[in-house]
Chain A
Amino acid sequence: AQTVTQSQPEMSVQEAETVTLSCTYDTSESDYYLFWYKQPPSRQMILVIRQEAYKQQNATENRFSVNFQKAAKSFSLKISDSQLGDAAMYFCAYLTNDYKLSFGAGTTVTVRA
């Protein structure tokens, strides 16, 4: 089974500043998909961003961007211009070849006003 590691249990960021969440994974596959999900205190998990491993270009979605380093098996998420609504738990996830998601333990992001 693929292992996804998020080494930062908690991160704090000042409003309007930038925070980067780290994620590493272990795989022997060459083609796969990576995701970042956000789970606000209301608990509904929503997709933030998606990256296809065959694409060299890093995915970007408004204030959210990733730094995908395939050789290093690293997939970090950068949140720019942080807003109070960004406060949530963020999960990194790997999609296996049989279409099952493997999740990291999550990083809780706190945004200071």
Chain B
Amino acid sequence: GENVEQHPSTLSVQEGDSAVIKCTYSDSASNYFPWYKQELGKRPQLIIDIRSNVGEKKDQRIAVTLNKTAKHFSLHITETQPEDSAVYFCAASDSNYQLIWGAGTKLIIKP
């Protein structure tokens, strides 16, 4: 079945710098790759997603890239702000359209 690995587990960046979180997946049939943000004590919420027929997608300061050949996808956050501090999860859909989740990355924005 699908397996998703996420790195790093913790990422600390200076406010205003960029942050990159990477995920790899194992099932070449996976076709949907969302990223969720979970603030402390709150529920996960979708921030951006990408489908396998697209290589890159942007939404303001957030972008996701997908490399189907290498089976990895990445979240890029530019001009980081204190409100970006959270845990970020990647996921990939398996053959049953169920999401398999990475273990999460705690992003810390230093003032």
**Chains A and B bind each other:** no
A residues whose Cβ falls under 8 Å from a Cβ of B:
none
